[in-house]
Amino acid sequence: MSQSDVKIIKANKNLKEKVGTGDIAATRVEASQNMIENNEVDFEPMAAEFLDALADGVKHCQGTAGDERTAALQSMVKPVMDLKANAQMFGYPLVTELANIMLNFLESVETPDNDVIAIVDAHRKTLMLIIKSKMSGPIGQKGMVLIDELKKACARYYAKKDIEEKPTQ
C-alpha cells in the first residue's frame, strides 16, 4: 500500500470538552464495586444454560473428525468462555477460575483430540457439581485442590503434545 492510501485523522477532543478531564471519584468506583459484589442474581439457571451448551459442544466434537473437528472446537470454547465471564460476576469465583484455565487450554489447542474432549467433559462434570453444591463465595481449600488438579491435567497434555499455552492479556 502506498503512503498516500493512509490517512491519519486527528483525535477528536469533543468528549474532553463535554465532560472535562480527570478521574472518576473513588467513592463512586467503590459504590459500583459494592453493587457488583452484593448483586443477588441467581447464577444457577444461567450456569445450567452454559453447561448444557458445553455438553452439546462435547457431543458435537465427539461426533466429528479432521477439519470438521477443528471447526467444532468453538462449540466448546464459547460456553466455557461464558462460564468464565459470568460466574464470578454472580458469586461463583471458583467456576470462573476453573473455566479460565479451561478457556486458555482450549485457546491453545488447534484440534481437540479425544484427550482434550475427555478433559473438557471431566471439567464440565466438576463445574456441574460445584453449581449443584452451591460452592459460591471465596475459593476455599477444596476449590484450590480442584484448580491445582485442572492445571496439572492441562500441563500434562501440553507436555505430552509439546505445545505451549497461548499468551493472555
Partner 1 sequence: MALQLQRLRILVVEDNNNMRELIASVLDNLGIGRVFTASGGSRVFELMQENEPDIVILDWQMPEMDGLEVTKMIRKDPESPDPFIPIIVITGYNSLERVKIARDAGVTEFLIKPFKATDVAKRIEHVINHPRDFVSTADFFGPDRRRKVDKNYNGPKRRKEDKLKALDW
CB of 73 to partner 1, least distance (A): 13
Gap between the Cα atoms of 27 and 33, Å rounded? 10
Q: Is 98 in contact with 123 (CB distance < 8 Å)?
A: yes
Gap between the Cα atoms of 139 and 98, Å rounded? 11
Contact stretch for partner 1 (CB under 8 A) within 1-9, 57-65, 109-117, 153-161: 1-9
Gap between the Cα atoms of 152 and 158, Å rounded? 10
Kindly state the number of chain residues that form the binding site for partner 1, as judged by CB under 8 A: 52
Contact stretch for partner 1 (CB under 8 A) within 17-25, 122-130, 137-145, 153-161: 17-25
Q: Which is nearer to partner 1, 91 or 161 (CB)?
A: 91
Q: Which of 49, 145, 142 is nearest to 90 (CA)?
A: 49
Q: Is 10 in the site for partner 1 (CB under 8 A)?
A: yes
Q: Is 89 in the site for partner 1 (CB under 8 A)?
A: yes
Gap between the Cα atoms of 103 and 99, Å rounded? 6
CB of 166 to partner 1, least distance (A): 5
Gap between the Cα atoms of 58 and 158, Å rounded? 20
Residues at the interface with partner 1 (CB under 8 A):
1, 3-13, 15-16, 18-25, 28-33, 35-36, 39, 41, 46, 78, 81-82, 84-90, 96, 100, 103-104, 107, 166-169
